[in-house]
């Protein structure tokens, strides 16, 4: 399969904020999303490994509506059924979720598919299987996800050189290292704690987004 050329691929750029209830436990998802978008986030992902599907469906529907109204792409992590149910812009799958090729078969062509990778081989395979972007990580130590595999800025550079789709850096990204990942070729930088656990979500997003403009 040749790499897809999705009409929304041009939007796969900038700050990518992942909402995970295990990190932002006491806050309302919609408020965090609104503030992150006001701060300049261009992509939002909802990642929930604990709630029942009925509740996730309601939350995801609210977030998709909110993102669409702002021209921001919204992704559901792992749960392809919820993505289908709410007509999400996209779905993101990790290496222990449904395989990319299978996801590609059960979602319409219009749905963006992102895949977690941590090597050139995995990234190439994901693109061949129909991924619209690949994430590379975890780049730096993080407390926000138990099941992660390490990668380096060198991996990120190599993946960027190897694939034609946008590349998203992930794992422990914050103000101290975001310029390094952008310099290494990241089209998107995914952040979790650095934004959703921040005292001022909008300001935290704004400062991270600033790194994209100053380097590009």
Residues carrying an active site annotation: 47, 116, 145
- State how far the Cα of 160 lies from the Cα of 92, in Å rounded to an integer: 18
In the numeric block, the tokens 């034609």 are attached to 164
Residue count of the chain? 216
**For residues 22 and 97, which CB has a smaller minimum distance to its own copies in the complex?**
97
Cβ nearer to its own copies, comparing 134 with 186: 134
Beta-carbon count within 10 A of 28 CB: 11
- Give CB contacts under 8 A, 24+ apart, made by 205-208: 205/15, 205/17, 205/35, 205/36, 205/38, 205/39, 205/40, 205/41, 206/39, 206/40, 207/175, 208/15, 208/39, 208/173, 208/174, 208/175, 208/178
Q: What's the CA gap between 137 and 20, in Å, rounded?
A: 17
Q: How far is the CB of 177 from its own copies (least distance, A)?
A: 29
Cβ 111 to its own copies, closest distance in Å?
Answer: 12
SS3 of the chain: helix, strand, coil, percent, to 5: 40, 15, 40
Minimal distance, residue 117 CB to its own copies, in Å: 14
Q: For Cα atoms 38, 40, 45, give the angle at the middle one, nearest 5 degrees.
A: 90
Q: Which residues bind its own copies (CB under 8 A)?
A: 52-55, 57, 78-82, 84-85, 95-99, 102-103, 105-106
Let me know: does 196 contact 208? Beta carbons within 8 Å.
no
User: For its own copies, which is the closer residue by CB, 108 or 141?
Assistant: 108
**Residue 31 to residue 71: CA distance in whole angstroms:** 17
> What are the structure tokens assigned to 166, written together?
């946008």
Give 63 or 82: the residue with its C-beta nearer to its own copies. Answer: 82
Report the nearest approach of its own copies to the CB of residue 106 (Å): 4
> Residue 201 Cβ, how far from its own copies at the closest point, in Å?
29
| Cβ distance to its own copies smaller for residue 99 or 210 | 99
């Amino acid at each position: 399969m040749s790499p897809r050329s999705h009409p929304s691929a041009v939007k796969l750029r900038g700050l990518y904020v992942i909402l995970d209830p295990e990190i932002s436990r006491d806050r309302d998802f919609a408020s965090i999303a609104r503030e992150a978008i006001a701060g300049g986030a261009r992509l939002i992902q909802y990642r929930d490994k604990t709630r029942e599907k009925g509740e996730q469906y309601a939350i995801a529907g609210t977030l998709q509506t909110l993102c669409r109204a702002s021209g921001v792409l919204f992704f559901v992590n792992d749960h392809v059924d919820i993505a289908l149910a709410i007509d999400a812009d996209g779905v993101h799958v990790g290496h222990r979720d449904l395989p990319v090729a299978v996801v590609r078969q059960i979602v319409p062509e219009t749905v963006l598919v992102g895949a977690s990778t941590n090597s050139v081989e995995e990234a190439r395979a994901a693109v061949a299987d129909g991924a619209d972007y690949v994430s590379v990580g975890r780049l730096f130590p993080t407390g926000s996800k138990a099941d992660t595999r390490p990668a380096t800025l060198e991996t990120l550079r190599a993946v960027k050189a190897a694939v034609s789709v946008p590349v998203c850096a992930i794992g422990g990204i914050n103000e101290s290292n975001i310029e390094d990942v952008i310099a290494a070729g990241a089209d998107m930088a995914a952040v979790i704690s650095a934004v959703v656990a921040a005292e001022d979500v909008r300001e935290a997003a704004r400062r991270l987004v600033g790194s994209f403009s100053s380097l590009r």
